[in-house]
Each structure stands twice: as structure tokens, then as C-alpha cells.
């Protein structure tokens, strides 16, 4: 473990006043490490894992005080599904009625937009067929669900109304 330079120590001590937990923990780890405390002791004192302590120490050695800044959590390999011109085409498509594409609905649902995107050549296939999207699409296409205000009362509600009426 190399000793801290004076500028690094000043920046770490300034980080101790940060409101963000990430920015606060990294200086705490590095200053404790500079005092000679082992990672397991630092982890116990800060209430984090030993691996978190080791990651912070490695980041400081690789980046210096710049490791105090939170970086994107986005995977480096992630790429937009619709890049460039396709995103603009999708925006234009969604500003039109589904009826302009020969569909019977007047409002877009996730599943309908996925089908039309596929038909228009924007995507390789309907991507809204994930199980998590199914309830959303069902609510939107049936006109019921959260926020629609048209859901029929449940049987217990009907019984309460009969009893009070």
C-alpha cells in the first residue's frame, strides 16, 4: 500500500463530507487502509463486505482520487435496441394512430407497437412478448386495470352494495 500524497489526502478528507453514501464510503476505506487497517477490520467498522473494501482500494490504486466519483452502472456491452434512424422512425410511428397501419385499435399498447415495429422492419421480431409485458398489454387492450376507471366491481363489492341499499 503506497502512502497518500498530500493532495490525495485533502481530497479524501473532503469526500468525508459528501452526502452520497458511495462518495463517503470510498474515502473512509482508503483513509483506514492508509492507517494500516486490514480489509476485514475496515469492512466491520463500515458495515460493508470485505469485497467492497477491496474494490475501493483497487479503484483508488487504478484511478487515484477520481475513483470517488460515481460512474455509470450501465454495462459496457449494452447497446440500444433501436439505434440511429430507427429510433426516429419509431417516434414518428407512435405519433400516428395504429389505424394508419391497418389495426383496429385507436391506442398503442406495448404488444401492438412491437408488432407494428416488426411489420415496418424496425426490429427483428416482436420484442414485447416477455412475460412481464403481458399484464401491461392485457390491461391496455382490455381497457381495464390501473387508472382506467372502468373496471367492474368485484363480487364482494356488489354484495356490500346490496346489503346497504
Q: Where are the domains of the chain?
A: 6-68, 85-142
> What is the reported pLDDT for 1?
63
Residues 6+ apart with CB under 8 A from 48: 25
Q: How far apart are CA 90 and CA 88, in angstroms?
A: 5
Span 5-20, pLDDT tens digits: 778 888 888 878 888 8
Residue with cell 487497517: 37
pTM of the model: 0.44
- At 95-142, the pLDDT tens digits run 999 999 999 999 999 999 989 988 988 877 655 444 444 433 333 444
Place of cell 449494452: 78
Amino acid at each position: 500500500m503506497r502512502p497518500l500524497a498530500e493532495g490525495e489526502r485533502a481530497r479524501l478528507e473532503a469526500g468525508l463530507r459528501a452526502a452520497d453514501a458511495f462518495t463517503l464510503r470510498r474515502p473512509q476505506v482508503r483513509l483506514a487502509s492508509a492507517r494500516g487497517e486490514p480489509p476485514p477490520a475496515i469492512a466491520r467498522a463500515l458495515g460493508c463486505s470485505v469485497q467492497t473494501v477491496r474494490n475501493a482500494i483497487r479503484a483508488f490504486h487504478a484511478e487515484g482520487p477520481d475513483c470517488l466519483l460515481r460512474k455509470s452502472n450501465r454495462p459496457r456491452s449494452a447497446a440500444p435496441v433501436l439505434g440511429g434512424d430507427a429510433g426516429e422512425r419509431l417516434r414518428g410511428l407512435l405519433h400516428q394512430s395504429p389505424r394508419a397501419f391497418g389495426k383496429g385499435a385507436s391506442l398503442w399498447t406495448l404488444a401492438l407497437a412491437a408488432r407494428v415495429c416488426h411489420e415496418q422492419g424496425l426490429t427483428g421480431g416482436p420484442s414485447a412478448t416477455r412475460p412481464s409485458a403481458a399484464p401491461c398489454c392485457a390491461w391496455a387492450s382490455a381497457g381495464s386495470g390501473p387508472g382506467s376507471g372502468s373496471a367492474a366491481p368485484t363480487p364482494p363489492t356488489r354484495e356490500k352494495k346490496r346489503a346497504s341499499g
